[in-house]
Copies of this chain bind each other. A is one copy, B any other.
Amino acid sequence: MPLTKKEIIELLKQEILSLKLKPGTILSETSLSERFGLSRTPIRDILKQLSLMGYIDIYPKKGNVVSYIDLESVEQITYLRSTLEKEILKELSPNIPLKGLHKLRYILDMQKDCIQKEESKEKKMEEFMALDDKFHKTLFVLAGRSFIWDLIQQFNVHYIRYRRLHALKEEKLAQLQREHEQILDCVVRGDKDKIDDMVYRHIRADINSSYLRENFMDYIKQ
């Protein structure tokens, strides 16, 4: 059974976010037509949508390529996210719903387990990051802001790939998990002053790091 357009979009998004499709990879209409057994018209719809969300760049009459990671976009999105997340956490603090708190703690325990697992670094990172998303999304949901979470996710290509690459670093996963625990503690204790600083550091930790430029230069814009 052939895939629907929606499924193809999701598939391509996953391939781009997971870096199976590296930045710079050419996605020509004809090649995708053959791959998915569709004519160029619906494929063009798909490419158009991916381009509006920043997954690909369309060069008229030249071709389409998987977008390079735009560090400026990362900087701006992390500012947006940390600002919103600070506000949300302060709203949840200290009277966070008990059911939600349990869910968050459960996610953090699973992250801890994940780190201990005997798997490849890539697979562990993949699994950990899914839990990471779940953690942050849960916070937005608890605050009644899932709409905003979904909105941000739509144009999060650059930040997600950036974060995945940083997560390959030694000890990075453990650090992220620890920060989650600390943030949650602050929320429970109602220590609002500390929240600002912790969230800012957690989300924007590596924003001035040269790690990507040094190790993944060919993934980065310009």
Contact = CB atoms under 8 A, between A and B. Distances in A.
Contacts of A44: 45
Interface stretch (A21-29, A96-104, A111-119, A143-151): A143-151
Interface residues of A, number: 19
A19 interface: no
Chain copies in the assembled complex: 2
A87 B44 CA distance: 40
B147 A155 contact: no
A158 to B, nearest CB: 11
Interface stretch (A77-85, A120-128, A167-175, A203-211): A77-85
A87 B85 CA distance: 12
A151 B145 contact: no
A87 B83 contact: yes
Interface of A: 41, 44-45, 48-49, 52, 72-73, 76, 79-80, 83-84, 87, 145, 147-148, 151, 155
Given A151-B155, A155-B151, A145 B52 contact: no
Contacts of A148: 76, 79-80
Contact of A48 (B48, B72, B145, B147): B48
A105 B23 CA distance: 45
Contacts of A76: 145, 147-148, 151
A47 to B, nearest CB: 11
A146 to B, nearest CB: 9
Contacts of A73: 147
A211 to B, nearest CB: 22
